[in-house]
Amino acid sequence: MPQTHTNETTERVKRWLATDPLNADRKTIQTTIVREWKERWQREVDRSRARHRGHAEEPADEPPAKERLKLHDGLQKAESSLLVQMRTGKIGLRAFLFERRVPDVMTPVCVCGDGRETARHVAAYCQLEETTRRELPFAMRTHRDFDPAVKDPTRAASLTRWLMRRQRVGGYRVALQIADSEEPVVMPPTRRQPRWLS
């Protein structure tokens, strides 16, 4: 266990004991937990930024807040998942997969050859998506258009659905088929359980 982790844990325990949890009211305990959580979150963000100096900040680098949940209103589970990936940059596109040393990904460069394949690149810069980008109900020309779009519920939903339809990110083909089908999806029958398990 690294020394800094031990010191942080010790300090956290000291602060927690200082609140006298047995006699403290619920509000005091809740306030202490929230404060400590925010401090920990900020330390982790600072560490991440130190490790990734020179990298562009992601829209998800902002502190968590209840308002961010509104971004997911009206989205299907797969769409919500894709939006999180777009905001964090942890998405199944070449740039991220290359960083993670996925064996079949030999380069972080987009197939258009014009930059690293990230959600921001695909949405704003990729030459292969130049005509399909017009399907979006708002302008998408640079990162200055992308960053606010993934922070606005209406534009985030449109952008997420647009990216899903591009089929550039693996794992969303079934979700796309379900969204496009007009008939209800029928799940295959499950195997009957033996009576002794019932």
| DSSP states of 44-85 | HHHHHHHHTTTSPPPGGGSPP-HHHHGGGTT--HHHHHHHHH
Domain-wise residue ranges, the chain: 3-55, 66-180
79-95: burial string, b at 16+ Cβ within 10 Å, e else: bbbbbbbbbebebbbbb
Q: Would you tell me how many other CB atoms lie within 10 Å of the CB of residue 39? A: 14
pLDDT of residue 1: 43
What's the rounded Cα separation, in Å, for the pair 86 and 98?
16
What's the rounded Cα separation, in Å, for the pair 92 and 98?
10
pLDDT of residue 186: 54
pLDDT of residue 180: 74
Q: How far is CA 70 from CA 75, 157, 158, in A?
A: 10, 11, 14
pLDDT of residue 184: 57
CA dihedral 147, 96, 113, 131 (to 10 degrees): -40
Q: How far is CA 16 from CA 33, 40, 96, 133, in A?
A: 9, 14, 38, 52
pLDDT along the chain (198 residues), means of 10: 56 64 70 84 80 64 76 90 91 93 94 93 94 92 90 93 91 78 57 50
pLDDT of residue 174: 78
Residue linked to tokens 């990936």? 85
pLDDT of residue 13: 62
pLDDT of residue 181: 73
